[in-house]
Amino acid sequence: MSYSFSELDFMKPELGAEFTGEGTHFAVFSAHAEQMELCLFSDDGKEETDRLPLPKREGDIWSGYIAGLKPGTVYGYRAQGPYDPKNGHRFNPNKLLLDPYAKEIVGEIAWDDALYGYSIGDPAGDLSFDERDSAPFMVKGVVQDPDFDWAGDAAIRRPWTETIIYEAHVRGMTMSHPGVPEELRGTFMGMASDPIIEHLVDLGISAIELLPIQYFPDDRYLVEKGLRNYWGYQTLGFFAPQPRFLSGRAITEFKTMVKRFHAAGIEVIMDVVYNHTAEGSERGPTLSFRGLDNLSYYRLSPGDLRHTYDTTGTGNTLNIAHPMVLRMVLDSLRYWVGVMHVDGFRFDLASTLGRTRHIEFDREGTFFDAIRQDPILSGVKLIAEPWDVGDGGYQVGGFPHPFREWNDKYRDDVRRFWKGDGGLVSGLATRLTGSAPQFNHSDRGATSSVNLISAHDGFTLMDTVSYDGKHNEANGEDNRDGHSDNHSHNMGVEGPAEDPAIRSARDRRRRNMIATLLLSQGVPMLLGGDELGNSQNGNNNAYCQDNETGWTGWDGLDDPFLNFCKGAIAFRKRHPALRQERFLTGEAGEDGTVEIAWYGPDGALMTDAAWKDGNLRTLGLFLAKPANGEGADQLFMVFNAGGDCTVALPAANGITAWKRVLDTGSDDDAFAEYPADGSVMVSGASIAAFEPAG
């Protein structure tokens, strides 16, 4: 069947392919194209059946309406315009282009030189022009019907003080789970299966943060090495779920997953990559944005528009300063909230999103202003990865409300303290109380810090106590990739250990780090699999390991450490003193009560000299929260990275006796009671927590 645009075309505000019930309206942005062509394909995407110039242009938006064209139609674009790389233009109508607003993507990229706008191997390099048709090798968009039965689904909007995040990968979480049906492993439906949801609920998780699920291809250099883009930080389709995560072809599987998580009380946070795309540098392929309008979509070098300006380390940087590129990002975010019902976003390399037209980071920049004034987006969970690789890119603490931020300073200080490094009691105290030096400004709260011990990027918790150095040889980069300074310690032998003493020491250090995470002010985030003792065999950059290395191992379901993690999460939920919204000042109230106090092991309040003592390895923390809807709560906690130690118990706020309720070193006297102003033995390398007795 051949199609043609209706003469009764009307201008819809939406970009992309919008099914109206009687036909489909197409719209795409390009400020510098001279003509835009819509290409329609057979259902399998192999045969181009129609090529139709879009008939209308208004405000740099090209559009047209085709009556009778239904959902399921496969399509792409070709753009006519100048091929003038020195002035930033790379139009090439021989290259089929993916619609940036495509809601579904079909096929896989088959890497071929025809996918490049220039002729690879030509002496002129990217200044040359390639005339081969790329359509046979390209993915295509699919017109969608947005209908879905959301009956019974509602946004949870859980307060940050009650949030516990679990970072996970759709394939990694499900590929090895014995209870997930084989046909659903690696998919959204596998994530929505009963065994996965039951595990998260039993653990006490309130929000799952999914590594990128928007469409991304496998990089050519990885495919040629027999590897795969596993993590997915190379987005090409900002509106479409990744096809390899579908058990069939229906994108409603993603909606089904979200609805099932919501029914279990779990929010869904997406890890999103709006700082760059999969097209790479000026020597990368022409797949979408580069061919639609390279000069608008990408930041180009101010002194030479031939070259991309890269603050991401991936070859290109999306030009969020351009109003239509910013609109695309905001439209994408609203789509995932409004149509797909997600509850929030974690922004990869978010400093790039705050860079202005003049390149520097600006916390009052256009992107942040747009988010904050948006009635939809300002109300969901927003988490920044507060750095990129450009000048001035490290911005921990520099983002505006309502953003929360990944806190790598928390990770490093906690790892170093439990590794036994000296001079860390002050750093630990800062991290336990919400990292005030970074976040206590501009009316930001103590939940601004997303605390983590481990994440997808770096060692797992088990590998942090099992390896002194990274072992990334399987990535094919001669072990040059990944962080070299992990603040890890193998406890006596590199890798798996048979020695019971080493295994015991590793178990205790894992308990200490997880307990520290759950006893800290801020928002805790666990790496999926850490509760199971998951290891990546020392690989701290498993971005291309779509195999047993990158997948979660479920052998730890019967491990006592899993029960410890459940208990630590439950302990946090029982104690509102650990989940306070504001930063604690330490000032006494009118009745003389205190909300926070720091003690040395001798029971004396910490002095300046004690804070600076590089040999001190033991720190006591008293916390109190007055009754305010949850009831009053008081705790005394001892963090001991040294040897066995006698610790004096404080008589703070008139407390006369304490009961030990948590001990990472021993269960022998876990519920013993002790008088205030008395003392208690705290074993080496352990945490002990006490509640008022009586």
**41 and 74 Cβ atoms separated by less than 8 Å:** yes
- Which pLDDT band, with edges at 50, 70 and 90, does 472 fall under? very high
**162 and 204 Cβ atoms separated by less than 8 Å:** no
- Rounded Cα–Cα distance for residues 432 and 452 (Å): 12
pLDDT tens profile 132-157: 999 999 999 999 987 788 888 888 99
pLDDT tens profile 10-35: 667 789 999 988 999 999 999 999 99
**75 and 99 Cβ atoms separated by less than 8 Å:** yes
- Which pLDDT band, with edges at 50, 70 and 90, does 672 fall under? confident
- Active site residue: 18, 271, 310, 348, which one? 348
pLDDT recorded at residue 248: 86
Burial of residue 499, with CB atoms counted within 10 A of its CB: 0-12 exposed, 13-18 middle, 19 or more buried: exposed
pLDDT tens profile 259-317: 999 999 999 999 999 999 999 999 999 999 999 999 999 999 998 999 999 999 999 99
Above 70 in pLDDT, residue 629? no
Mean pLDDT of 620-637: 86
- Rounded Cα–Cα distance for residues 593 and 642 (Å): 31
Phi/psi for 678 (5° steps) reads -95, -165
- Which pLDDT band, with edges at 50, 70 and 90, does 589 fall under? low
**369 and 330 Cβ atoms separated by less than 8 Å:** no
**336 and 270 Cβ atoms separated by less than 8 Å:** yes
pLDDT recorded at residue 335: 96
Mean pLDDT of 513-539: 98
385 is catalytic: yes
- Rounded Cα–Cα distance for residues 627 and 499 (Å): 48
- Rounded Cα–Cα distance for residues 317 and 623 (Å): 45
Mean pLDDT of 313-341: 96
- Active site residue: 209, 271, 385, 595, which one? 385
pLDDT recorded at residue 668: 61
- Rounded Cα–Cα distance for residues 323 and 300 (Å): 16
pLDDT tens profile 403-460: 999 999 999 999 999 999 999 999 999 999 999 999 999 999 999 999 999 999 999 9
Question: What single string gives the DSSP state of each residue in 448-466?
Answer: GEEEES--SSS--HHHHTT
- Which pLDDT band, with edges at 50, 70 and 90, does 490 fall under? very high
- Rounded Cα–Cα distance for residues 41 and 78 (Å): 13
Please choose, from the candidates 282, 287, 326, the residue with its C-alpha nearest in 3D space to the C-alpha of residue 306.
282
- Which pLDDT band, with edges at 50, 70 and 90, does 671 fall under? confident
Question: What single string gives the DSSP state of each residue in 538-561?
Answer: T-S--TT-TTTTTSPP-GGGG-HH
Burial of residue 33, with CB atoms counted within 10 A of its CB: 0-12 exposed, 13-18 middle, 19 or more buried: buried
- Rounded Cα–Cα distance for residues 109 and 125 (Å): 23
pLDDT tens profile 363-382: 988 999 999 999 999 999 99
pLDDT recorded at residue 565: 97
**pTM greater than 0.85 (yes/no):** yes
**354 and 368 Cβ atoms separated by less than 8 Å:** yes
348 is catalytic: yes
Helix (H, G, I), strand (E, B) or coil at 691: strand
**96 and 133 Cβ atoms separated by less than 8 Å:** yes
pLDDT recorded at residue 3: 85
Helix (H, G, I), strand (E, B) or coil at 330: helix
